[in-house]
A = this chain, B = another copy of it.
């Protein structure tokens, strides 16, 4: 019940994932899609552009749209995916332990990361992610209180993203990620089953709303042997 081109995008993406359009095959031409969806060519092209951007197809001038192999996306840590969504696709037994839930003024580092004034209140949430009985991930989240009034342990155990999007009706738009590898802190050793690992993988995340306002900073600290990140990258059009 929304935009035509997004509907066509989702429809086609589903068909690709279901194998209706198998990898290596060609999609129907823009003209054909135009007729089957009873719309204009530009609308079809917008949908195809989205598919190309998200790694579903490759457009080749003069030839058509080739369906790419989407099986590589079985572990979508890329893009913006919350642990809840991720754990769902994995199908493993997983559990979230809320170790900390506090509202207060954060230290200098977090103030800088969140670009907030020294008197701003910030939610601090620490959650340990357990998969198959092992404590694999320590998520340290910092939310500006001006965006989120109330936060309960129940919400934290479930999915904060769900709460923000479906209860508060705020739209998450984009994020800046940074992945580094560091030595474990005492906190890491305390909460995670590191088993002698001398490194943790840290995914730092700055998350923004639709209006470009920064509302969250997250550090997701992973046990290295359980970490995996997949990404689809297109060459920048009109690069250097």
User: Is A48 close to B, CB under 8 A?
Assistant: no
User: Is A228 close to B, CB under 8 A?
Assistant: yes
User: Is A147 close to B, CB under 8 A?
Assistant: no
Residue pair B224, A199 in contact (C-beta under 8 Å): yes
Give which listed residue, B3, B9, B228, B235, contacts A178 with CB less than 8 A: B228
Q: Chain B's nearest CB lies how many Å from the CB of A140?
A: 19
Convert A162-177 into 0s and 1s, putting 1 for each residue whose CB lies closer than 8 angstroms to a CB of B.
0000000001111111
Q: Chain B's nearest CB lies how many Å from the CB of A102?
A: 28
Convert A221-233 into 0s and 1s, putting 1 for each residue whose CB lies closer than 8 angstroms to a CB of B.
0001101111111
User: Is A101 close to B, CB under 8 A?
Assistant: no
Query: Among the listed stretches A49-57, A127-135, A148-156, which one makes contact with chain B, having 4 or more residues with CB under 8 Å of it?
Result: A49-57
Convert A78-98 into 0s and 1s, putting 1 for each residue whose CB lies closer than 8 angstroms to a CB of B.
111000010000000000000
The verdict on A208 contacting B78 (CB below 8 Å), with A199-B224, A228-B180, A229-B179 known, is no
Residue pair A212, B60 in contact (C-beta under 8 Å): yes
Residue pair A58, B212 in contact (C-beta under 8 Å): yes
- Number of residues on chain A facing chain B (CB within 8 A): 55
Measured in the bound complex, the distance between the Cα atoms of B239 and A9 in whole Å is 10
Give which listed residue, B58, B79, B233, contacts A78 with CB less than 8 A: B233
User: Is A16 close to B, CB under 8 A?
Assistant: no
Q: Chain B's nearest CB lies how many Å from the CB of A91?
A: 16
Measured in the bound complex, the distance between the Cα atoms of B67 and A169 in whole Å is 24
Measured in the bound complex, the distance between the Cα atoms of B181 and A78 in whole Å is 16
Q: Chain B's nearest CB lies how many Å from the CB of A88?
A: 9
Question: Which of A228, A232, A233 has its CB near the most chain B CB atoms (within 10 A)?
Answer: A233
User: Is A10 close to B, CB under 8 A?
Assistant: yes
Residue pair B172, A54 in contact (C-beta under 8 Å): no
Residue pair A173, B237 in contact (C-beta under 8 Å): no
- A selection of 29 A-B contacts at a CB cut-off of 8 Å is A3-B238, A7-B238, A9-B237, A50-B237, A50-B238, A53-B53, A54-B236, A58-B212, A60-B212, A72-B178, A79-B234, A80-B235, A171-B235, A172-B235, A175-B232, A175-B235, A176-B231, A176-B233, A177-B229, A177-B231, A178-B229, A179-B229, A180-B227, A181-B199, A181-B225, A181-B227, A182-B225, A197-B198, A197-B199
